[in-house]
Chains A and B, each alone.
Chain A
Amino acid sequence: MTVPKRIGKIRFGLISPQEFRKMSVVKVITADTYDDDGFPIEMGLMDPRLGVIDPGLRCRTCGGRPGECPGHFGHIDLVAPVIHVGFAKLIRKVLRAVCRECSKLMLSDLEKKEFLRQIRTLEELGQPTEDVVNKVFAEARKHKVCPYCGAPQGEIKFERPLSYIEDGHKLTPSDIRDRFERISDEDIMVMGMNPETARPEWTILTVLPVPPVTMRPSITLESGQRSEDDLTHKLVDIIRINQRFQENREAGAPQLIIEDLWELLQYHVTTFLDNTVSGVPPARHRSGRPLKTLSQRLKGKEGRFRGSLSGKRVNFSARTVISPDPNLSINEVGVPLEVAKELTVPIMVNPRNIEVVRKYVMRGPDNHPGVNYVTRSDGRRVKITERNCQEVAQQLEFGWKVDRQLADGDIVLFNRQPSLHRMSIMAHRVKVMPYKTFRLNPAVCPPYNADFDGDEMNLHVPQTEEARAEAEILMRVQENILSPRFGGPIIGGIHDYVTGSFLLTHKERRLDREKLMEVIKKLDITDIPEPAGYDENGDPYWTGKQIFSLILPKDLNLTFKADFCSNCPVCKGEDCENDAYVVIRDGVLLRGTIDAEAVGAFKGKVTDRIIKEYDPGVASQFLDRMTLLALRGIMLAGFSFGISDEDVPKEAAEQIHDVTRSAKESVQKLIEAYRAGELEPLPGRTLEETLEMRIMQTLGKARDSAGQIAGRYLGLDNSGVVMAVSGARGSMLNLTQMAACVGQQSVRGERIKRGYTDRTLPHFKRGDLGAEAHGFVESSYKKGLSPTEFFFHAIGGREGLVDTAIRTSQSGYLQRRLVNALQDLEVNYDGTVRETRGMIVQFKYGEDGVDPSRRDYASPDNVHRIIRKVLAGENA
């Protein structure tokens, strides 16, 4: 076993040519890879000393088999030095800072001493030295004459990608290297480098390391042809040019040819390191595809860091579209049969389960739930087929591992990106189903922030007992009903669940025996309460409140105001004529309407009380039954919303028109008063600001009263109102905009005027300050917008879109930084918060050591309730 090691420190520097040679196991001199028999050629790019990838062979350096041998570096001796692209900027800075003759850093000794001192202090404090170092380069560059030898300095021009031009002459990498070699250790330290680990001349390559074959394996195509890695292709180019260069130089070729070849060598080494340098045409494959070279392997989303280390693809996972299924428990997830046949759970065969496991194996892979693979004690894996399943089943022994297909009741992790909080991954029980989507109860949409407009989700199958236990105890949906964010239930009714509960429980909804049965037939309830009364025919009837009481725990006591409460100036409490004051006594809903405030996600007072007073199991059962009941409730009543639901009677339309017209008139009066200089400025405001505020106020009021007029004609017989009032979806404002008046459009909280001079559109007179000219939309959505209104509405609408786009990206980045800083912190059993080294961050979690999801809104009311309960228990 490998022993975990603690990393003491990491030091970054440059590798010297000596070090490159030292770590090299072979000097590569030939561009060939394999010989005709398919064996790697010695001193070639696939030299067996560089590591092994072919099965059956052993590494000539370490003796390891493929997989064991990490691979070993070789090297190429470059005929002439070339610049390392990554250091182009540093080379430019150093070139400009040192003397062309004596290679001294062009600063006075005193300055050098002072800068060095500053750098040392910053280093000791563990702070970045970048600013000081930049100052060093900036100061040294100012000298036109060397303060040491007096040599006049030429201007050094940098031309993309890699040319340094001094007095019209291009400096060769050799020239630069020569200059850098003569820089003293002291000067290097002033430039912020450590001469022992990073000398400036090491940025000019004379030796090129050849990466081990393990990081550039060749693949054999079906045709038997070998296909080499992009890096190998690039190395071949480098070696070829290197060879030609040497031959030409030895043959005494003309300077022009030598320069061309040098340039070419530089090009190949550059693209080997980075194939996206601007100004350098990317090296391409024969097919025209740009090669993926070293820096492309690391950079970006698909690169080694973000693509392979921070996140990677995993086994035992599945992804598909989600769709709703209210008949599932909130703890369940519907898994398509096709997925269930692919994913497996390992079972270790033992004396207790061998007969059961044997039955699974005998089913084969096609007969769900069957078995896909069997692993024997010696580690040999057998794929189960229709043909061998009987045979393998008979051979089964203790200690074998059987990969059983996913079946009902297995525990899996279910996830939707972006995983912003811990409820983004929860554990569900599998329910294998036909068709191709994952199914979930819509009540669990809020924690995932999922909807069904094409959202996809991921599913993972835990593979060990420990993982399964942990998932079941900590990650089950029912364990996550309470959100640690606000201490209330994040899981609960949405949309039709809320509407359904509302319709079922509002006022006195009477159901005869047949309807009662219809509503509760999906529930596991067998005891029917006494009828609430008998109708004129003498037939018994039950109320919706009675039926809802069936799913409440028998000793639940709770009173609260419904979402639907209109916040009357004096609350009449239990006598509320709107039926908005909920009273639950001993598990019976006596008064009030069940709406979003009672069972909705994020609110759910009833859910909240049940989970805190009983346990998550009771709460999840309540939610399961509530979802079934609510849907029956809505189906019983029948519920739809259409364009005609936005209609208001003629007299209402006239009243609304009167309101908007008089509002526009008073806006005109305000403008006239302003023009006449009669407007009184509000404290701290200019006259113009005052006018704008008064206009906004007037028009805002007009929209509100238009809404009120519409509201008077839209009662609870309107399904839009039912949804808005119960908290299921939408608001009265939405309805107002649809039925009465859309209202003022705004940009940055002002009327539409930003970016315009004199007028917003040619439809208006210059200098018009009136309501229509600055984005007041008098029409309703139902009526339709006039062309100018439509234009202003588009302006206001776009601001909303831009805001959301900006907000999500900003909050996403903020979240990333926060999570990166906090992810390894841990709350210990003694209540302290510590990081991985054991350093204490907080002596008590959150300073008070309280889990926010159990805090019960930190209300003293709840303490009183508990005391009352305890006292009642003692008296009984």
Chain B
Amino acid sequence: MTYTSDKPPLAESTDQLRARIPGWGADLDPKDRPSVPKLRWQEDRTGAHWDFPDRQPEKWPRERSIEHKFLPPVFGTSCPPKGVSGVIRRFAYRKYSEGRAAHWLLLLAADRVDAWESHLRSFLTARPDNPITETGVLSEFSRHGFSSRIGQKRSDVKHQVLDPVIVAGPWVLAVAITVTLARKLTHRS
């Protein structure tokens, strides 16, 4: 009992557990657990045959955390920064360490700007963004959107109604503002 020194008893004995659960206790000994202890010298270097790796060529100035001594030898080359979001991103990296909220808040702001820039840019291409196909919302019909939610005790249904607002809200707002402005302008002339 908790208010005395014994541990509350378990419903099943070790033998019962072993019989019911395949592999029960196979890793009882911490020595058999691959991540114990946390730091363990890896003699084989996991296949690496260098002390410090070759350097990947830097094809454009690669943004990096100011907590790094130098550009690490290997890095991803997806989506170089561009446009206004690119300017914000470069600034966030150049100016603030990972320890500063400003670093992350600027990067998040840049993500929102990037989405807008990209949506607008897409309208100049043969393949404009299509919110119906890109949100995959049609799977609501093919994947039982109704019965997957109704009558279940799901706690996420309460805020899922916010998702369409997040996706469509800014567009509705943008259209409303444009229409209002256009009306005002035409009214004046």
The reply to whether chain A is a binding partner of chain B is: no
B residues sitting closer than 8 Å to A (CB atoms) are none
